[in-house]
Amino acid sequence: MLALGEEPSLTCQGLVLVDVAPRLEHNGVRRVIEFMRRHQDGFDSLEQVQDAVAAYNPARKAAANSQGLRRNLRQDANGRLHWHWDPAFLEHAVIPEADESIFGRTRLNRAAKSLKLPILLIRGHHSDVLSEEGAQELLALVPHAQYRVINQAGHMVAGDRNSIFTGAVLDFLQRLDPKFIDICSSDRRLTP
């Protein structure tokens, strides 16, 4: 949102925002940052990863097989498992004070207002990061955006309700380019 809003020369056919907007809930952001900062040294096993996810989101139903978590992990030379995200992100991750965010809410609002491309905002119904009020504020800034709320999902929308999330994204992409669904149909990982 910020990159496309501030750099009009970037070409993009559409943008999917997942549980993020200029206004985020401070307590939810704090929980995410604290979760990301835990276990920076990695994990010994998939079971430890599963326990960390369960501690972050006790309401989430544990997968019968923890192997699905492996897609979210990378293994270092010592065999330890680490989350895929870039640890350098944490150097800039600041728990917001008052009405600000990592990038500044005024800056994000300005960037959002300038977006003209098709946008899909997806929010987890039980998210503690993006509230309905925060989503509505974004939709007021970008009235042409489409909006989907995924029930029985929190901030980790794709992990909580992957098939429904994937279906929403594919539907949006197919509206952008009907040929896209043919490409996705040949890649079983993308189909709901």
* Structure confidence at residue 176 (pLDDT): 87
Q: What is the 3-state secondary structure (H, E, C) of 1-46?
A: CHHHHHCCCCCCCCEEEECCCCCCCHHHHHHHHHHHHCCCCCECCH
* Structure confidence at residue 122 (pLDDT): 98
- Ranges of residues in the chain with a pLDDT under 70 are 62-67, 92-102, 180-192
* Structure confidence at residue 183 (pLDDT): 53
* Structure confidence at residue 64 (pLDDT): 67
Which run of H or of E encompasses 120?
A: strand 119-124
Output the CA angle 78-80-84, nearest 5 degrees: 120
- Structural domains in the chain, sorted by start: 2-25+103-185 (3.40.50.1820)
Output the CA angle 102-71-93, nearest 5 degrees: 10
Handedness of CA 35, 119, 136, 5 (dihedral sign): positive
- Is residue 81 a contact partner of residue 46, using CB atoms and an 8 Å limit? yes
- Is residue 154 a contact partner of residue 136, using CB atoms and an 8 Å limit? no
Count Cβ atoms within 10 A of the Cβ of residue 47 and give its class: 0-12 exposed, 13-18 middle, 19 or more buried. exposed
Q: Across the strands, what pairs with 17?
A: 121
- List pLDDT tens digits, range 60-110: 776 666 667 788 899 999 999 998 877 777 776 666 665 556 678 889 999
Say which residues have a Cβ less than 8 Å from residue 191's Cβ, sequence separation at least 6. Answer: 166, 170, 184, 185
HSE-up (13 A, CA, CB side) for residue 17: 27
* Structure confidence at residue 56 (pLDDT): 84
In the block, residue with structure tokens 């991750």 = 93
